[in-house]
Amino acid sequence: MTFRPLLSLLLGCALAVGLPAQTQAKPTQVAVAAAGDLRGVLEELKAAFETARPDIQLQLSYGASGSLTAQIQQGAPFDLFLSADEGFPLQLQKAGLVAAQGPFTYATGSLTLWVRKDLGLDPARDGLKVLLSQKIQKIATANAQTAPYGRSAEAALRQVGLYDQVKPRLVFADNIAQAAQFLQADAAEAGLISYAQAANPALSQKGAIWKVPAADYPPLRQAGVVLKRSACPDQAQAFGTFLTGAEGQALLARRGYGKP
């Protein structure tokens, strides 16, 4: 795989390593690889963190957790990885790519059904069975092979015995953020996405939302890891600590995430 990272990602951590004091006026840049469901909330977390730590600047990249894991395994220059599950960070730990402190859980996600309001359907009453309606031609979700939310969506549909019936209408995005974009662009009438995305005004104003019961899919315990190759592990860990601290948890809760 060929990577074309920004120069800032290649050089950012160097600011923290062995340079004279007069050259350290610029903040240390920490490259963060983040699951697609964090798009939006992570920008808010970044702003709050950088206000508290002006000596650190976060460089955010988004993708499916599985795809980001593959990139990290092939040498992508990230310092911190925030996954939508615990499995991919553990996979990196087993491969010897994680710093000594290991994975940390920063939130619990919620799989949510979104249906366009103008269809006149009621997911709060019918739950996932609403997807059987002929008014719904396409159902957006993420690729179960690379995205934990996509895997949870498939598990929930199988749990209630609907997967085979709705499979022909499923539209798979590369990651859950892209699935939400499909809904926003009216490329699908319904979708299984994260609660944080469904509750965003861009979608909540034109869609009815219903949280899928947690018992119907594997828990979405979202975990992060500082990568062993990072040249600025202390700064990367500082953001991880912020996420699990009072201010970070309050911001995550406001966007619909549960406690770790």
Q: What is the pLDDT along the chain (260 residues), one digit of tens a residue?
A: 444 444 444 445 544 444 444 455 699 999 999 999 999 899 999 999 999 999 999 999 999 999 999 999 999 999 999 999 999 999 999 999 999 999 999 999 999 999 999 999 999 999 999 999 999 999 999 999 999 999 999 999 999 999 999 999 999 999 999 999 999 999 999 999 999 999 999 999 999 999 999 999 999 999 999 999 999 999 999 999 999 999 999 999 999 999 99
Domain span at residue 99 reads 7-108+220-254
For residues 27 and 84, what is the distance between their CA atoms, to the nearest angstrom? 28
**Whether residue 196 sits in one domain with residue 122:** yes
**Radius of gyration, alpha carbons of the chain:** 19
pLDDT at 6: 41
Integer CA distances (angstroms), 222 to 27, 169, 200, in order = 28, 28, 19
**Whether residue 49 sits in one domain with residue 20:** yes
pLDDT at 16: 47
**Total of domains in the chain:** 2
Tokens of 156: 């929930």
**Whether residue 104 sits in one domain with residue 224:** yes
Question: 227 lies in a domain?
Answer: yes
Centre a 10 Å sphere on the Cβ of residue 11 and count the other Cβ atoms it contains.
13
- Give the Cα-Cα-Cα angle 64, 79, 176 (nearest 5 degrees): 15
**Whether residue 123 sits in one domain with residue 31:** no
pLDDT at 25: 65
pLDDT at 13: 58
For residues 226 and 228, what is the distance between their CA atoms, to the nearest angstrom? 7
User: Contact 102/135 with Cβ under 8 angstroms?
Assistant: no
Question: 170 lies in a domain?
Answer: yes
CATH, residue 237? 3.40.190.10
Query: Please, what is the angle between helix 246-254 and helix 41-52, to 10°?
Result: 160
Closest of 115, 137, 140, 112 to residue 208, by C-alpha: 115
Closest of 93, 80, 72 to residue 31, by C-alpha: 80
For residues 84 and 36, what is the distance between their CA atoms, to the nearest angstrom? 8
Query: Please, what is the angle between helix 41-52 and helix 233-244, to 10°?
Result: 110
**Whether residue 103 sits in one domain with residue 85:** yes
Q: pTM of this prediction?
A: 0.88
**Whether residue 91 sits in one domain with residue 165:** no
**Whether residue 186 sits in one domain with residue 175:** yes
Question: 205 lies in a domain?
Answer: yes
Which residue type sits at 45?
Answer: L
**Whether residue 57 sits in one domain with residue 140:** no
Question: 22 lies in a domain?
Answer: yes
**Whether residue 246 sits in one domain with residue 177:** no
**Whether residue 207 sits in one domain with residue 84:** no
**Whether residue 21 sits in one domain with residue 87:** yes
Which residues 6+ apart lie within 8 Å of 39 measured at CB? 62, 177, 197
pLDDT at 144: 96
Question: 2 lies in a domain?
Answer: no
Question: 161 lies in a domain?
Answer: yes
**Whether residue 33 sits in one domain with residue 44:** yes
Question: 164 lies in a domain?
Answer: yes
